[in-house]
Structure 1
Amino acid sequence: MDVSSPAGFWIRLGASIIDAILLFFVLGFISLALYGQFTTEGYSFTDFLDLLYHLLLPIFWYGYTIGKRAVDIRIARVDGEKVGLGTMLLRNIVGGIVYIITLGIGVIVSAFMVGLREDKRSIHDFIAGTYVTYDPPEEENN
């Protein structure tokens, strides 16, 4: 296991906030065009687009989302392989299920893990075999 230059809690939170703001406006305008209102109640097509953003963009963009790219961090696998669909499904879907089953306690534990562990890995990172790093993709393959 080789975890180099791990990203800590505050930078990861900042990237998540950037993604959330971006998606709020982009998906809000898509929702406005489709449903005639900026936000919708219940699940809608825009929720599916949000899921696709978090699942697929890191696969095609070397572990980056727009928020992560803005703060120069990315998702990487601990074994050095490229982040794939299985990895992102484990990280987002299975990790999310764990957080729901624990009624949010897992989220709090994960925040402490990212803040206090030397490798800065959270519960969903352990599930998927990932970590968040400052290293660019080129350094991962050397």
Structure 2
Amino acid sequence: MPARLGGRWRRLFAGILDIIIVSLISSPFTYQTYGTILDIESGVFVRIPIQHTLLAAVVGFLYYWLLTAFWNGQTLGKKLLHLRVTDVSGQRVGVGQAALREVATWVMYATCCLGWIDLAFILFNQRKQALHDMAAKTLVVDT
């Protein structure tokens, strides 16, 4: 018998917990510096802040990808709320499948407003799949 699909609310709260955890882990890798550019209109050099977040993004990607691939399809948030990611047949996700799931997620979030559309699919899809789940052929199920 296939596992029961994970609830939408528990999935939301697991995601919020994961965002908090990733924020805490990656915050030391986010920093701000300043650059100097020439303001063409005034002819004056001005300082502008530059936010460096690439390392923080790498930490976040690795968190989701590696935990999903090697920790029974669970991030810490999913484990706390008794959820896990499986393939559509209920089997454990592979390393490549977990990577595809995260790449699809990150591409959609980096593209204007597609992250919200990705999440909205959970509400209307019978299998409670977001677009990144469909791309990677995964489900979020109860443990």
Quickly name the TM-score band, shorter chain normalised. Answer: 0.7 to 0.9
Q: 2:2 & 2:124 partners in 1: Cα distance?
A: 15
Aligned with residue 127 of structure 2, among 119, 124, 132: 119
Instruction: Give, in angstroms, the shift of residue 43 of structure 1.
Output: 2.9
Deviation at 1:108, TM superposition (A): 3.1
Normalised to the residue count of structure 2, the TM-score between the two structures is: 0.74
Partner of 1:34: none
Q: 1:44 Cα shift?
A: 4.0
For residue 68 of structure 1, the aligned residue among 52, 58, 78 is 78
Is the CA contact (8 Å cut-off) linking 2:108 and 2:115 kept in structure 1? no
Unaligned runs of 5+ in 1: 32-38, 137-142
Partners of 2:118 and 2:131 within 8 A in 1: yes
Structure 1 residues 4 and 122: CA distance shift in structure 2, 3 A: same
Equivalence for 2:12: 13
* Higher mean C-alpha displacement, 42-51 vs 65-74: 42-51
> How big is the shift at 1:98?
4.1
For structure 2, list consecutive stretches of 5 or more residues without a partner in the other structure: 32-50
Q: Secondary structure at the match of 1:75?
A: strand
1:50 aligns with 2:60: yes
Tell me the amino acid that sits aligned with residue 62 of structure 1. Answer: N
**Identity fraction in percent:** 27
For this pair of structures, how many residues does the alignment match?
Answer: 124
Spell out, residue by residue over 1:7-39, the C-alpha distance to the aligned partner (whole angstroms, 9 max, x if none): 2332111111111112222332x44xxxxxxx4
Task: Give the TM-score taking structure 1 as reference length.
Answer: 0.74
Higher strand proportion: 2
Instruction: Give the C-alpha shift of residue 51 in structure 1.
Output: 1.3
Higher helix share: 1
Structure 1 runs of 4+ aligned residues shifted over 6 Å read none
Higher relative contact order (CA 8 A, sep 6+): 1
